[in-house]
Structure 1
Amino acid sequence: MAAAKGPSVGSLGKLTELRQRIFFVIAALIVYRLGSFIPVPGVNPDAMANLIGQTGGILDMFNMFSGGSLGRFSVFALGVVPYISASIVVQMMGSVIPSLQALRKEGQSGQRQLTMYTRIGTVGLSAFQAFGIAVALMKQQTNGGVPVVYMPGFGFILSSVVGLTAGSLFLMWLGEQMTERGIGNGISLLIFAGIVAGLPNAVVHTLSMSSNGELSTIKLVMVVALVLTVTAFVVFMERAQRRITVNYARRSGGQRSYMNQTSHLPLKINMAGVIPPIFANSILMFPAMAATWGNASHQSRWLQDLIQVLSPGEPLYDIVYAVLVITFAFFYTAIVFNSQDTADNLKRSGALIPGIRPGRSTADYIDSVMSRLTGVGALYLVLVCLVPTFMQNAWHVPFYFGGTSLLIVVVVVMDFTAQVQAHLVSHQYEGLLKKANLRRG
């Protein structure tokens, strides 16, 4: 009886494992933040910061996503965007190329091969983006005529490509280690850390504006209300799901018989998560990068006009952004959720949807339900991402997060909390089993 009252060795081990995973995530985030202050050689830091400030727009947003690494031109300036882009491209190709489709069905070995392709794509995208940024920076000057690069030339290009590519690959490796040895999705946690890194300065800046009279009390209250409202809305929508009733037929097994059972097939409204906004922002960044390649040449003037109209808050930007988010929401949902596979699994387990024949009819029904849910989820993503932008432009409210960043932060925190709770429930379940066995003994 004394043994039953005390904590078991397995329970303590489970708690120790959870504690170690959390400490590993914290240590990895500290390494990430320290690395964001390691600069690439050859760049004037003051001129670079002024350039980001005077350019603004989409570059400001990506500077926020990288935790200020782009403004400091550190080795982590590219962040995890090349890895995310490469992984999405590989997933898209895996749905249309037969050889990659076969790899997806081979289980763990096929997944390792797809992961290798993703890493190779990350190297290529990182090197390409690093080369473009290096070439662009050599032609940039601040409004005061101060060059951004001390000594332009091949040496600067080489050091930038090597440094930025190595930094992006290190973040890819760090994110994979966090996923495997920590809690939550490592890549998402790195994006989360970059976004919240600038939050203290934003809060101090907002409060100073309020104390100086630059920001009225009404607008300050509006900022707080907007944050709370959008956060609550995101939490509600991320937890919302459509439950399709599923009946299991009566079965007999030996001396036991199983009566008809009713269960549910849960379908999330937002199956794509935060991937559509991230990928939409990645695509909209390319004109901003291309426009700086040759700003002094005649042929790049149209790119300068393009980046102007594709800046956050401009009508064309909002329209293109909304179309991209909706498109990627449907496309990515089609990649991660296969209605035919779901229908086949239900048929093999002896389950059926009331009023729907098993097989193809079930797949068509699930696909129609999922299409409607994805449409609602896509509109929800557009609303969350663009409403704060409208508020910033209309009332000049210094809402630091923005819709996209707030969505990412809330979803990552929810995922992290859910996984911690899953570990705790597993620990409690194992403890109850051990106590039950001891009492029987």
Structure 2
Amino acid sequence: MKKFFTTLSNIWKIEDLRVRIINTLLFLLIYRVGAFVRLPGVDASQTDAKQAEGLVGLLNMFAGGSFSRISIFALGVMPYISASIVMQLLGIAVPYFAKMQKEGESGRNKINQWTRYLTIVITAVQAVAYLNSQVTANEILIANPMFTIMNTMVLTAGTLFVMWLGEKITDKGIGNGISLIIMVGIIATLPSAFLAEFQNRTTGTGGLIAFIVELIALIGVVMFTILIVQGTRKIAVQYAKRIVGNKQYGGVRQYIPLKVNAAGVMPIIFAQALMFIPATIASFFPKAATNSIIIALGDYNSWLHNILFALLIIVFTYFYTAITVNPKQMSDDMKKNGGFIPGVKPGLPTESFIDGVISKITLPGSIFLAIIAIIPSLANLVGVNNLFARFFGGTSLIILVGVVLDTLQQIESHLLMRHYDGLMKTGRVKGRSAVPAAAGTTPTAI
């Protein structure tokens, strides 16, 4: 406990770090206040009792309850995340955007500008769909055409403002702003989920013992998730020795840390998108809604749904790792800098060696990621309420663990730069952004 208070004191002594933390908290406070401001023309009394389930429930969790509350921040940063993913895929498939990614700072500025434009388009489309699907006629207080036009503009402006807050947090605060906004939205639902589960256990089945067992299981899942997020396979790289004048350069051994889960949370997001196709088909074809397979695929607790979900996650983990980690570029960069892997010839053998290592570590990483993704369904089967079960795994838990580790790593870096002790007595806090420089990729916001 003394170490904890000493660390807090050291953090407060560093003026730059103190200002950044205060700025971050103020920006996040602005976001949370805006999450309770409802859209103009909406009857607030009709929206309080709305419950969000399925994909809507997941989006509502990311938006901190704004989605079901019909707030001006209802769409949150998800349109921006979608635009970022599209631009990342375009950078792989379209030569024009691939060339732009290699232009350094100017190229990144152009890509960011394109991402903002695409965010406006995606937000406008999603805003119309959101107003038509989530706002019923009895909740609208003004004429419908004007209501849709006005609130499409309001929702678009709200998303752009949230995106601006995220950029300000990144520049003036601590940590990745977009990731922190998503994390705050997820944490905002934790107290109500915790209280609901406590009441459910104490007044229903299981009692207090079952609730304590659930908390122990949750801690175990969090620890398991941290192992997956931080797990790396280090490849030794030896650099050739060079003599320039009277000085020696190179001749040192470094390591390329290849992450066990290089794809992050993206495979779960892609797999979830595909798993909602049966429900979409059923909405257009009423007769298909009675099909037993369609019903099983739409049931989050069914074995068919979870087995297919896990298989899709494994496939998408390999796919996303293949398009984001480039062994050829890593091999070329090592060769240009005079580096080589001991026992492996430069060039194609090095590329094949790195590709083989990635393939080997991706399999256990994808299996573990699939296990984390289906744990919420398993928690539901043993009686955990749906809202609290989401914290046992899936997208929300991976985002929480990754963002917390990244933020703690940045705080520790500020402490070590000023010659203070780190956050831990032994070892260092490792964030999820430890991506090899030769990989030629930048970690996404989530």
Shift of 1:223: 1.2
Q: Secondary structure at the match of 1:43?
A: coil
> Relative to structure 2, which stretch is displaced further, 397-406 or 192-201?
397-406
Residue 117 of structure 2: aligned partner: 120
Contact 1:137 1:149 in 2 (8 A): no
Contact 2:275 2:297 in 1 (8 A): no
Corresponding residue to 1:216 among 195, 203, 207: 207
Residue 193 of structure 1: aligned partner: 184
User: Quick one: distance in 2 between partners of 1:25 and 1:329?
Assistant: 32
Contact 2:202 2:208 in 1 (8 A): no
Contact 2:11 2:17 in 1 (8 A): no
Residue 17 of structure 1: aligned partner: 16
Residues matched between the structures, number: 406
Trace 1:356-395 onto structure 2 (pairs within 5 A): 356-395=344-383
| Cα displacement string for residues 41-72 of structure 1 (whole angstroms, at most 9, x for unaligned residues) | 2334444344435xx22222221221110111
Q: Secondary structure at the match of 1:401?
A: helix
Residue 438 of structure 1: aligned partner: none
> Does structure 1 residue 83 correspond to structure 2 residue 80?
yes
> Does structure 1 residue 39 correspond to structure 2 residue 38?
yes
Contact 2:376 2:390 in 1 (8 A): no
| Cα displacement string for residues 13-58 of structure 1 (whole angstroms, at most 9, x for unaligned residues) | 99211111111111111011001001112334444344435xx222
Amino acid in the other structure paired with 2:350: T
> Does structure 1 residue 177 correspond to structure 2 residue 168?
yes
User: Quick one: distance in 1 between partners of 2:289 and 2:150?
Assistant: 27
> Relative to structure 2, which stretch is displaced further, 406-415 or 303-312?
303-312
| Cα displacement string for residues 123-179 of structure 1 (whole angstroms, at most 9, x for unaligned residues) | 1111111111212245x48xxxxx344456212211231122111111111112211
User: Quick one: distance in 1 between partners of 2:277 and 2:167?
Assistant: 26
Contact 2:241 2:248 in 1 (8 A): yes
Contact 2:221 2:392 in 1 (8 A): no
User: Quick one: distance in 1 between partners of 2:78 and 2:274?
Assistant: 11
Contact 2:313 2:366 in 1 (8 A): yes
Amino acid in the other structure paired with 1:209: N
Q: Secondary structure at the match of 1:266?
A: strand
Residue 343 of structure 1: aligned partner: 331
Amino acid in the other structure paired with 1:358: P
Q: Secondary structure at the match of 2:175?
A: coil
| Cα displacement string for residues 62-112 of structure 1 (whole angstroms, at most 9, x for unaligned residues) | 212211101111011111111111101110111111111110110111111
User: Quick one: distance in 2 between partners of 1:307 and 1:18?
Assistant: 52
* Residues 1:172 and 1:131: Cα distance change in structure 2 (over 3 Å): same
* Residues 1:366 and 1:126: Cα distance change in structure 2 (over 3 Å): same
Amino acid in the other structure paired with 1:228: I
* Residues 1:332 and 1:23: Cα distance change in structure 2 (over 3 Å): farther
| Cα displacement string for residues 387-436 of structure 1 (whole angstroms, at most 9, x for unaligned residues) | 2321212444553524121221111111110111112212229xxxxxxx
* Residues 1:117 and 1:155: Cα distance change in structure 2 (over 3 Å): same
Residue 267 of structure 1: aligned partner: 258
Instruction: Normalising by structure 1, report the TM-score.
Output: 0.83
Q: Secondary structure at the match of 1:244?
A: strand
User: Quick one: distance in 1 between partners of 2:112 and 2:249?
Assistant: 42
Shift of 1:245: 1.8
Shift of 1:258: 5.9
> Relative to structure 2, which stretch is displaced further, 245-254 or 317-326?
317-326
Amino acid in the other structure paired with 1:75: I
Contact 1:246 1:351 in 2 (8 A): yes
Trace 1:138-287 onto structure 2 (pairs within 5 A): 140=136, 147-151=138-142, 153-257=144-248, 260-281=251-272
Shift of 1:363: 1.4
User: Quick one: distance in 1 between partners of 2:392 and 2:318?
Assistant: 23
Q: Secondary structure at the match of 1:95?
A: helix
CA RMSD of aligned residues (A): 2.9
Shift of 1:120: 1.5
> Does structure 1 residue 102 correspond to structure 2 residue 79?
no
| Cα displacement string for residues 242-276 of structure 1 (whole angstroms, at most 9, x for unaligned residues) | 11122223332322446843332211111222233
Residue 391 of structure 2: aligned partner: 401
> Relative to structure 2, which stretch is displaced further, 33-42 or 394-403?
394-403
User: Quick one: distance in 2 between partners of 1:403 and 1:152?
Assistant: 43
Instruction: Normalising by structure 2, report the TM-score.
Output: 0.82
| Cα displacement string for residues 364-385 of structure 1 (whole angstroms, at most 9, x for unaligned residues) | 2112211222232222221112
Residue 417 of structure 2: aligned partner: 426
Residue 144 of structure 1: aligned partner: none
Amino acid in the other structure paired with 2:354: I
User: Quick one: distance in 2 between partners of 1:378 and 1:233?
Assistant: 14
Q: Secondary structure at the match of 1:368?
A: helix
Structure 2 gap ranges (5+): 1-9, 421-446
User: Quick one: distance in 2 between partners of 1:381 and 1:195?
Assistant: 19
Structure 1 gap ranges (5+): 1-10, 142-146, 430-441
Structure ID, larger Rg: 1
User: Quick one: distance in 1 between partners of 2:204 and 2:144?
Assistant: 47
Q: Secondary structure at the match of 1:361?
A: helix
Contact 2:296 2:304 in 1 (8 A): no
User: Quick one: distance in 1 between partners of 2:127 and 2:254?
Assistant: 51
Contact 1:343 1:359 in 2 (8 A): yes
User: Quick one: distance in 1 between partners of 2:340 and 2:300?
Assistant: 47
Q: Give the percent of matched residue pairs that are identical in Structure 1 and Structure 2.
A: 36
Corresponding residue to 1:312 among 290, 295, 300: 300
> Relative to structure 2, which stretch is displaced further, 278-287 or 90-99?
278-287
Shift of 1:308: 8.0
> Relative to structure 2, which stretch is displaced further, 267-276 or 187-196?
267-276
* Residues 1:304 and 1:179: Cα distance change in structure 2 (over 3 Å): farther
Contact 1:40 1:159 in 2 (8 A): no
Contact 1:85 1:279 in 2 (8 A): no
> Does structure 1 residue 134 correspond to structure 2 residue 131?
yes
User: Quick one: distance in 1 between partners of 2:324 and 2:33?
Assistant: 35
Residue 441 of structure 2: aligned partner: none
Contact 1:36 1:76 in 2 (8 A): yes
